[in-house]
Structure 1
Amino acid sequence: MTAEINAYQRVAGEAIFEIGKRLKHVKENDLAHGEFQRWCEDEAKVPYRQANRFMKVVDEVPIEKMTTSSHLGLNALYEIATLPPAERDQPHTIPSSGETKTVDEMTVRELREVKQALKVAREENVVTIRHRCRIYLMVYLYYMKSQRSSRNPNLTATILSRDRKRR
């Protein structure tokens, strides 16, 4: 019985990739621009959003990973496909449990948690970079002010008076 279950899981996983390949082929080769959504829903009876997920998995999950990922469902594969490429092969710590797992060992909920944590970390990094840029700009402007004032003492008074008026 276990062998049968594993075989059906493998078939189901492979079907995700095959469906995605065929949807992508139809979209790129068989339909005029703008017809794909109608075709998906009316002809193929596949919701448009789900069709896009199938195609995203085909585009982003390498074929050699298919055999190791064939036990995963469409939602888990889609979450993996939408991770930044550099993050797909690394183990991650799941924020809610503290466990470290690779992406193919995680549930959909765990994948979403990890993606959210990565997004927050990226946003914090961007804020830090912006803050550093502002500091560097302020230091540069202060330096330029001091350079000008040493050459022209009246310029310092002009700059300071402009700064006071702005406040």
Structure 2
Amino acid sequence: MESAVKQKVFAADLPSIERRLAEIEQLDRQHALEKGMLLKHVRDYDLTHGQWLRWLETVGIGERTAQRYIQAHEQFGNTTHASGLSVSALFDLIQLPPDINRSMFVSSPQPIPSTGERKLVTDMSRDEVREVVRAAREAQGLAKRKQPRTATVKPANGFSDVWGALDSLIAALTPFEKETIESLPLSLTRRVMSLAPQTRTIVLDVASKLSSIVFTDNIEEIMRDAGQGVSPHLIASKYVVKPDAQSLNGIIISPYEILGLNFGENDTAVRRRYRDLSKKVHPDVGGSELLFKLVNKAYEAHSSGRWFA
């Protein structure tokens, strides 16, 4: 797989990469790493000329999914055994602590905490992969150790294992809650679904009002306030603020000033505003090339999270 991913020769122009991505979509799981390589090439060499996010829409790949494919390639592209991993397993494994040797991890049997059985990652179920990844993160203090479940937060339908019953739990949510929970990072899904129903409803309402990055960074305080019954509006208002201006493409300005929004606002609202503005300032309809570029840079700053580093 190393030679197939690292040394593969391909046409570096955008149309060729688009055709190859369409072909990869129909192939088996081993091509997930190649997809990450292609996406990384397009992004790193700016083949879209500042239109990275818009181009992702044309090839049917979400920005977050593209980032995961790229991370999978960067972490496992030189790992021979990774070619047999499913896309879902790769996306879970990129959350391993950074100092763990990826090649050794996937090529050696790993202990599954709940059963004590040792398995190769390629032979594990998705729940087992997640369990092993979480154990590795807990061991290095990157995740809090799971506390025994109490009766107050045990799902009402009787399931004791949230991961094992996750699909059933999500199916019982309202359409609004389901859309919100599916937009959260995988690392937060279990925690939110483990909350008591009333608290979970408040947390999901807050998540719908904030950007995913702001919500993730403040999840502990948000859950604490939700558990105390604080209204979603009051909780969200703490994080929707105007940020200090910084350099954006050489101009000292906040990306949210360009978009006419506040820092922390919901991703959907930001995306809607970006689309409206980009149509109005597009050079093809008499707009300004500079403004069009700034609008795209502002949206990329929001979506990538670089602004918050």
Counterparts of 1:127-142 in structure 2, within 5 Å, are none
- Aligned-pair distance for 1:86? 2.2
Matches of 1:55 and 1:122, distance apart in 2: 24
Matched, 1:82 2:98: no
Mapped contact 1:12–1:70 kept (Cα < 8 A): no
TM-score by length of 2: 0.32
Matches of 1:120 and 1:83, distance apart in 2: 10
Gaps of 5+ in 2: 1-26, 143-309
- In structure 1, which of residues 122, 128, 139 is the aligned counterpart of residue 140 of structure 2? 122
Match of 1:4 in 2: none
Deviations 1:21-42, CA, capped at 9 Å, x for gaps = 1111111111345x3222212x
Matches of 2:30 and 2:128, distance apart in 1: 23
Matches of 1:79 and 1:87, distance apart in 2: 15
Matches of 1:80 and 1:58, distance apart in 2: 12
Counterparts of 1:1-167 in structure 2, within 5 Å, are 11-29=27-45, 30-33=47-50, 35-41=51-57, 43-65=58-80, 68-84=81-97, 85-86=99-100, 88=102, 89-90=104-105, 91-123=109-141
Mapped contact 2:113–2:135 kept (Cα < 8 A): yes
Deviations 1:6-27, CA, capped at 9 Å, x for gaps = xxxxx51332122111111111
TM-score by length of 1: 0.56
Percent identity (aligned)? 31
Which structure: larger Rg? 1
Mapped contact 1:53–1:74 kept (Cα < 8 A): no
CA RMSD of aligned residues (A): 2.3
Q: 1:119 to 1:73 in 2, by over 3 A?
A: same
Matches of 2:127 and 2:135, distance apart in 1: 12
Deviations 1:91-113, CA, capped at 9 Å, x for gaps = 32112222112333322211211
Matches of 1:93 and 1:24, distance apart in 2: 33
Q: 1:78 to 1:40 in 2, by over 3 A?
A: same
Amino acid at match of 1:27: R
Q: Where is the helix percentage greater, Structure 1 or Structure 2?
A: 1
> Alignment length, in residue pairs?
110
Amino acid at match of 2:83: S
Deviations 1:68-105, CA, capped at 9 Å, x for gaps = 33332111122223323525324321122221123333
Q: Which has the higher contact order (CA 8 A, sep 6+)?
A: 1
Gaps of 5+ in 1: 1-10, 125-167
Matches of 2:59 and 2:79, distance apart in 1: 28
The alignment partner of 1:70 has SS state of helix
Matches of 2:100 and 2:67, distance apart in 1: 22
